[in-house]
Structure 1
């Protein structure tokens, strides 16, 4: 079975190569089940070369029908929950449906920064698709949802190339990553 253009788009990088930016060469497979397995939540994948100004991460998905929350994190290494010390979290985006909040935070050397909360509106709707874009700039990440700029998050992790992993978990299905 051939891979459709839509499925190929799911694993392109910002440079439009068919080697995904998450460090898994050869992701394009003629088997749709392989692609679905690769985008299974919880998801953890490498960002080839780490972050740098001008690079962006795109997460497209569909919110679950009855979600509690979901998180998209950029971390410095994969790590595990039991591993000590935990890897630094350069950016953690948390959609909380009960409170209708889209929170952001970071954790450096085991210490979480103060959670940032204020946004004009909550952009996620249960059982609906979304597109999150995380643009890396010299001093900050700029976050867009469905093409709308939501907020900036200034870097707490100063070594951008060390930010080399994306982690996604919670009440959503991933349809595309890039």
Structure 2
């Protein structure tokens, strides 16, 4: 298990080790009372984004997508908006054989099928109106 404590947003850090089926990334933080949006991105180097997780409070949806070779893919937006401005949250991203399983505050929110193989993911990035207290990588 590896933990990143109180990183300053925006930030980008290498993921310790590799993402493999069974491994989890747990993000704990607080959403600004006036937050419009924030994003948690799992990146492949400096350009491609394997998983873009983007709560948008003005639109009341959480967009999931990938950015590959300079182009955004198809947005997935089902599931509504279980996160609340001004509140703490915990987001868990579990690597499965063919998708990420996402839990928000202990409840299953969605699955997101891999569009880039997970072994190519090298960095985690967080940006926007959010404060992160901890990111933990839990081994399988």
TM-score greater than 0.5 by the shorter chain: yes
Unaligned runs of 5+ in 1: 1-12, 14-18, 23-34, 80-86
Q: Write 1 or 2 for the structure with the bigger share of helix.
A: 1
State the shift of 1:50 in Å: 2.3
Aligned to 2:37: 69
- Counterparts of 1:42-121 in structure 2 under 5 Å? 42-77=10-45, 79=46, 87-119=47-79, 121=80
For residues 176 and 52 of structure 1, the distance between their equivalents in structure 2, rounded to whole angstroms, comes to 21
What SS does the corresponding residue of 1:161 show, helix, strand or coil? helix
What is the TM-score with the length of structure 1 in the denominator? 0.73
Q: Tell me, which stretches of 5 or more residues in structure 2 are unaligned?
A: none
Identify, as 1 or 2, the structure richer in strand: 2
* Aligned-residue RMSD, C-alpha: 1.3
Displacement of 1:111: 2.2
Deviation per CA, 1:51-82: give whole Å up to 9, x if none. Answer: 111111111000001001000000012x2xxx
Q: Give the alignment of 1:1-178 within 5 angstroms.
A: 13=1, 19-20=2-3, 36=6, 39-77=7-45, 79=46, 87-119=47-79, 121-158=80-117, 160-178=118-136
Aligned residues: 136
Structure 1 segments of 4+ aligned residues over 2 angstroms from their partners: none
Which structure has the higher relative contact order (CA within 8 Å, separation 6+)? 2
